[in-house]
Amino acid sequence: MSQEFKIEIISPDKTVFLGSTEEVLLPCYEGQITILKDHIPLITFLRPGVIKISKNEEFYVEDGTVEFSDNNLLVLSTSVQSLKKIKSEQINEMLKEAEKKVLSNQISDKQKYILNYKIETLKQING
Amino acid sequence: MPSLDDLKKRIKSVKSTQKITKAMKMVAAAKLKKAQENAEKGRPYSEKLQNIILNLTKSMSDNTNAPKLLTGNGKDKIYLCVVITADRGLCGGFNSNICKLAKSRFKNILNEGKELKIITVGSKGYDQIKTEYGKYIIDKKSFKEKKQISFNEANEIGKKVIELYEQEQFDKCFIFYNNFKNVITQIPQSEQIIPTFIKKDDKIEENVFTYEFEPDEDEILEDLLPKNVSVQILKAFLENAASEQGSRMTAMDNATRNAGDLVDKLTINYNRSRQASITKELIEIISGAESL
């Protein structure tokens, strides 16, 4: 029996990825999780990070919602970008912006937490 | 009776108008295809998000802790209406249809003794509403320069709406837009977005799963509901964009046809009066020759 399940990544303007896979790595709000087939139904949301489907299919996200049920994984994200398409200058720019924001005092702890993850992920992608 | 020269000028001017409307029709047709695609691509996101929220709300054990965006703040006094129209005219009844629906709604709200606040998106809607309901308009937005409406614009409005809600500036929020059914039919619609209202007869599959939540329902809902507002607005934008082009296409098609009819009529007139003047001249010559 195949160990694959369906995965769908959707952004507001299009379906970014549609396919099936054996395992997905998700940067969830409370930590990274891996989803395999027959996972129990789950709803959770994402922090900035990279969704890893396979070596060639990696996506950068800043936020998003995940639903897994009946061997269908659904990722809704407004900021999803394929790592293949994202350029390093773009990352540098985002990195600069995030670093500037994190230093300002006007943000809440939650925002700081999210921004720190963003910076870390962006650095990892570029490094 | 207009002179031959006048008729000639008229025909020429109608013909050039026809050329313009024809070109506009072509442009609208090309844009329509893209807008339609965008609207279709945007549908899964909003549908699935609603689906998730429905699943979440179903498994919520008690409503007392539920976020206000979902259940409302218990009051029913101030209504916020977001009217989404186009920035350009020449698209048939597109803008007036939304405004008509919105205005009848405004009237009802005011008749019931409720307070009314309006945000207009798109300059055409603002122009039509300001004469009658200008004093209720609290904000107007226009994305004229933007070639394509993306999530960012919708998010901007969504954030603004939520900010107002958190300041308790209103109790209920409705959006008005044109739903794109097909090229010929666009249906003006109003939808309640705050408190989140999920239609029961939507094509939502009945799920019987018990979900595991991380961190917990309330926190997820708090994250999701503001997003849902933006997404609903985006959906309205996309539907509106497709409707606008569709409406413009039909309007321009009609205009081109009307111009064609007019040219035919004027040409017949022109030929008749040309012939009449020739006949008149002939008669004058003949009667002149006869009298000699």
Residue with the bigger pLDDT between B214 and B254: it is B254
* Length of chain A measured in residues: 127
Do A74 and A92 reside in the same domain of the chain? no
pLDDT of amino acid B63: 60
Could you please report the per-residue DSSP string of B136-173?
GEEEEE--SS-SS--HHHHHHHHHHHHHHHHTTS-SEE
Nearest Cα neighbor of B49 from A98, A65, A92 is: A65
Q: Which of B17, B21, B146 is nearest to B92 (CA)?
A: B21
Do B151 and A14 lie within an 8 Å CB cutoff? no
Q: The domain containing residue A118 runs over which residues?
A: 88-126
Candidates A32, A47, A63, A65: best to mutate against B (most CBs of B within 10 A) is: A65
Question: Quick one: CA dihedral B89, B92, B94, B97, positive or negative?
Answer: positive
Whether A36 and A76 share a structural domain: yes
Instruction: Tell me whether residue B99 is one of the annotated catalytic residues.
Output: no
Q: Determine the straight-line distance between the first and last CA of chain A, rounded to whole angstroms.
A: 39
pLDDT number for residue B201 = 46
Contact call for A42 and B213, based on CB within 8 A: yes
pLDDT-derived band at B209, boundaries 50, 70, 90: low
Pick A44's closest partner by Cβ from B38, B214, B234.
B214
pLDDT band at B254 (very low <50, low <70, confident <90, very high): very high
Asked if residue A96 and residue A60 are part of one domain, the reply reads: no
Residues A10, B48: C-beta atoms closer than 8 Å: yes
Average pLDDT over residues B22-48: 89
A12 and A72 assigned to the same domain: yes
Per the structure, the count of domains in chain A is 2
Identify all chain A residues contacting B213, using CB atoms and an 8 Å cutoff: 42-44
pLDDT surpasses 90 at B21: yes
pLDDT confidence bin for A70, thresholds 50/70/90 = confident
Contact in structure between A91 and A126 (CB atoms under 8 Å) = yes
Write the CATH number for A71.
2.60.15.10
Is A48 in the same domain as A96? no
Are A17 and A66 members of one domain?
A: yes
Q: Are residues A17 and A63 in the same domain?
A: yes
pLDDT of residue B1: 66
Distance (Å) from the alpha carbon of B168 to chain A's nearest alpha carbon: 22
Which one has a higher pLDDT value, B283 or A99?
B283
pLDDT in tens, A13-45: 788 889 888 889 999 888 889 999 888 888 888
- Secondary-structure class of domain B51-250 per CATH: alpha beta
Minimal CA–CA distance to B93: which of B178, B35, B181?
Answer: B178
The neighbouring-strand residues paired with A23 are: A36
Reading the block at residue B260, the tokens are 């064609």
Packing angle of the helix pair A88-103, A109-126 (nearest 10 deg): 150
Render pLDDT for A112-124 as a digit per residue (tens, 0 to 9): 888 888 888 888 8
- To the nearest whole Å, the CA of A104 is away from the closest chain B CA by 21
Q: Are residues A105 and A122 in the same domain?
A: yes
3-state secondary structure of B115: strand
- How many residue pairs from chains A and B have C-beta atoms closer than 8 A? 75
Question: Which residues of chain B make contact with A30, given a CB cutoff of 8 A?
Answer: 214-215
| Chain A residues in contact with B242 (beta carbon < 8 A) | none
pLDDT-derived band of residue B269, with 50, 70 and 90 as boundaries? very high
Chain A positions touching B210 (Cβ under 8 A) are: 41
**Residue B215 preceded by cis peptide, ω within 30:** yes
More confident residue, B217 or A65: A65
- Cβ neighbors of A40 (< 8 A, separation 6 or more) are B212
Nearest to B41 among A13, A45, A67 (CB): A13
For residue B226, pLDDT beyond 90: no
Q: Chain B residue closest to A74 (CA)?
A: B48
The reply to whether residue B45 touches residue A74, judged by beta carbons under 8 angstroms, is no
pLDDT value at position B289? Answer: 93
Q: Express each pLDDT in B150-174 by its tens digit.
A: 788 888 888 888 888 888 888 888 9
**Taking a C-beta distance cutoff of 8 angstroms, is the pair A94, A61 a contact?**
no
Of A68-77, B111-120, B130-139, B218-227, the range with the lowest mean pLDDT is B218-227
Q: What is the spatial distance between Cα B135 and Cα B48, in angstroms, rounded to a whole number?
A: 38
Candidate from A56-60, B73-77, B172-176, B180-184 with smallest mean pLDDT: B73-77
Residue type, A45: F
The angle at the Cα of B53, spanning B52 to B54, to the nearest 5 degrees, equals 90
Catalytic residue among B81, B91, B99, B173: B91
What is the pLDDT confidence band of residue B198, given thresholds at 50, 70 and 90?
low
Q: With an 8 Å Cβ cutoff, are B211 and A41 in contact?
A: yes
Binding-site residues on chain A for chain B (CB distance < 8 A)? 10-15, 28-30, 40-45, 65, 67, 69-70, 74, 76, 78
Confidence of residue A3 (pLDDT cuts 50, 70, 90): confident
Q: How far apart are CA B234 and CA B237, in angstroms?
A: 5
- A30·B207 Cβ contact <8 A: no
Structure confidence at residue B61 (pLDDT): 58
- Which residues does B170 contact at the CB level (< 8 Å), separation at least 6? B78, B79, B80, B117, B164, B194
Distance from the Cα of residue B141 to its chain's centroid: 14
| The pLDDT value given to residue B261 | 96
**Same domain? A32 vs A93:** no
Confidence of residue B264 (pLDDT cuts 50, 70, 90): very high
In B, minimum Cα distance to A41 occurs at B211
pLDDT digits (tens, 9 = 90+) for B48-95: 888 888 777 776 655 666 677 777 777 788 889 999 998 888 888 889
Q: Are residues A48 and A95 in the same domain?
A: no
Q: What is the pLDDT of residue B87?
A: 87
> CA-nearest residue of chain B to A42?
B212
Q: How far is CA B88 from the centre of its chain?
A: 11
Residue A3 to residues A24, A35, A39, A123, B228, Cα–Cα distance (Å): 12, 12, 12, 33, 33
Q: Are residues A32 and A53 in the same domain?
A: yes
Strands A42-45 and A65-69 turn out to be antiparallel
What residues in A contact B211, CB-CB < 8 Å?
41-43, 67, 69
A41 and A70 part of one domain: yes
What is the arithmetic mean of pLDDT over A86-109?
A: 82
Q: Letter for the amino acid at B30?
A: A
Region A84-92: mean pLDDT is: 82
Decide if pLDDT at B278 tops 90: yes
